[in-house]
Chains A and B, each alone.
Chain A
Amino acid sequence: MPQSLEYLKETPSQTAGPYVHIGLAPGAAGFQIYDQELGQDIAGPNAKGERIRVEGLVIDGTGSPVKDVLLEVWQANAEGIYPHPEHAGHDTVEEGFRGWGRVITNFETGAWAFDTVKPGALMGRNGEMMAPHINLWIVARGINVGLNTRLYFEDEAEANATDPIINVIEWEKRRETLIAKRSERDGQTVYRFDIRLQGDDETVFFDI
């Protein structure tokens, strides 16, 4: 009898479609059904570190904002620790810090924003430090497999310069697409991060 490898195949992806909000953010679809929608508060009330807002647009190949997109955010806390049992130090993560959230666009303008704390640097592979970053996953009608990217911070130039993920990107020009631009507005720190699905300055997306 021949040897066999008894692996299963991953279930193939399908687009989240235009009505993704019904399932993942029903309030935005126009109705209340759950006692508590998931993903509304990324950092929680007890998180240490700098409170920041991140905002932007997702832009399609015609230069138009994508108005029906949903983003998921996944990040470490200000100490660079994920609230996950396999991450060393996870029991020190602040109570209520989920590190994960859902962000939807304004249906008229495509604008999106979320509030969180700035994550800390953390160890990547082989002892290499990764610069502070936020992982993003983007789904929408017309996106057949969710797109993964990372947001890095303009004011972390030194850490970004040695970040092993940024440095894996061969084209230095493309690295810029992952850097959020910092500004102040009404005393609040705001980072701007536009995501270009296609065309000039197409955002770097990762196969993770």
Chain B
Amino acid sequence: MTKTPLKQGEFYQRDRRWHPPAYDKDYKTSVARSPKLSLISLENTPSEIAGPRFGHGDLTAHDNDLLSNYAQPDQSPIGERIIVHGRVLDENARPVPNTLVEIWQANASGRYRHKKDTYLGSIDPNFGGCGRTMTDENGYYYFRTVKPGAYPWRNWVNDWRPAHIHVSVFGSGFAQRLITQLYFEGDPLVKTCPIVATIPDPEAIEQLIAKLDMNATIPLDTIAYKFDIVLRGRRSTLFENRLEGN
């Protein structure tokens, strides 16, 4: 798709049938936390088109390296060493540059470093479980971490979350704000998970499954998974929308 010199307008409307519905009886926590009345649809104003900006001054160099950002000197966390990398794009397939990507996850034994997590899995003294980075000018980002473990959670009696990494992305406008979860190719727990299953369309679920990427794997060192993220695209205004009101 070619670049246009035309002024950028509103974001494309969010496809609410592609996203999970607020209410899903099989994800029990959603039952009392889901609005019952319809969302009120708004045409974008500057409040939605603008959004917070971040710079490299907000981060430090190793914030995206979960193998080292909480480890003692000369130590590293236990677990399968992985690279998670990809691009942040918009629905027009254009890269989203200089945007903040944040992740958090359980350690290799399925335990979170959180005062509210009491699972039997061990805390790893060398693993914090969070990282953050900015996409480069091509929308590219990467993290180093360990592959998280599966863990049980209270929903039905015997529910287990597939290995996953939580991902938070901004984009350029507040309307693009997104939190999602990354799953791993080949994990049999993906098919059993009520949280995954809140997404109605199997093709949409496929979008959350990171692919093993042997070409980006570092031999004798770290296995790579590729995960592209797509944020809402923007209209190119053929006609003046008078967003600023002038």
Residues of A within 8 A of B (CB): 6-24, 26, 29-31, 33-36, 38, 60-62, 64, 66, 68, 72, 74, 76, 82-88, 98-100, 107, 122-128, 130, 133, 135, 137, 139-147, 150, 165, 168-169, 174, 197-199, 202-208
Contact = CB atoms under 8 A, between A and B. Distances in A.
B102 A24 contact: yes
A100 B43 CA distance: 21
Contacts of B246: 88, 127
B103 interface: yes
Given A10-B15, A23-B166, A125 B245 contact: yes
B45 A142 contact: no
A103 to B, nearest CB: 14
Interface stretch (B30-38, B73-81, B218-226): B30-38
Q: Which of B30, B114, B231 is the most central at the interface, judged by chain A CB atoms within 10 Å of its CB?
A: B114
A13 B207 contact: no
B130 A14 contact: no
Contacts of B150: none
B40 A125 contact: no
Interface in B185-242: 195-196, 198-199, 203-205, 207-208, 229-233, 241-242
A23 B103 contact: yes
Nearest to B103: A23
A119 B53 CA distance: 18
B180 A33 contact: no
B89 interface: yes
A174 B207 CA distance: 36
Given A16-B179, A202-B37, A11 B207 contact: yes
B159 interface: no
Contact of A61 (B31, B50, B112, B204): B31
Contacts of A35: 60
A9 B246 CA distance: 33
18 contacts: A10-B18, A11-B229, A12-B204, A14-B20, A23-B103, A23-B166, A33-B70, A38-B54, A74-B52, A84-B52, A107-B115, A126-B242, A139-B179, A141-B33, A143-B22, A144-B20, A207-B14, A207-B42
B175 A14 contact: no
Nearest to B21: A144
Given A23-B168, A144-B21, A87 B46 contact: yes
Given A22-B129, A23-B102, A207-B42, A125 B241 contact: yes
Q: Which of B39, B41, B46 is the most central at the interface, judged by chain A CB atoms within 10 Å of its CB?
A: B46
Closest 3 CB pairs of A and B: A23-B104, A142-B29, A100-B52
Contact of B22 (A10, A12, A122, A145): A145
Contacts of B115: 29-30, 107
A124 B13 CA distance: 18
Contacts of A14: 20, 166, 179-181, 195-196, 198-199, 208
Contacts of A130: 45, 47
Count class of interface residues, chain B: 35 or more
Nearest to A197: B33
A19 B104 contact: yes
A12 to B, nearest CB: 4
Given A8-B230, A34-B63, A144-B30, A19 B42 contact: no
Q: Which of A23, A34, A128 is the most central at the interface, judged by chain B CB atoms within 10 Å of its CB?
A: A23
Contacts of B114: 18-19, 21-22, 29-30
B204 to A, nearest CB: 4
Given A125-B243, A143-B30, A165-B45, A74 B181 contact: no
B33 A12 contact: no
Given A12-B207, A38-B100, 19 more contacts: A8-B92, A11-B230, A15-B198, A16-B168, A17-B166, A21-B114, A22-B104, A22-B128, A30-B115, A60-B32, A84-B53, A87-B46, A107-B116, A125-B243, A140-B33, A150-B47, A174-B37, A197-B34, A202-B37
B27 interface: yes
B42 A72 contact: no
Contact of B166 (A20, A34, A62): A20
B18 A202 contact: no
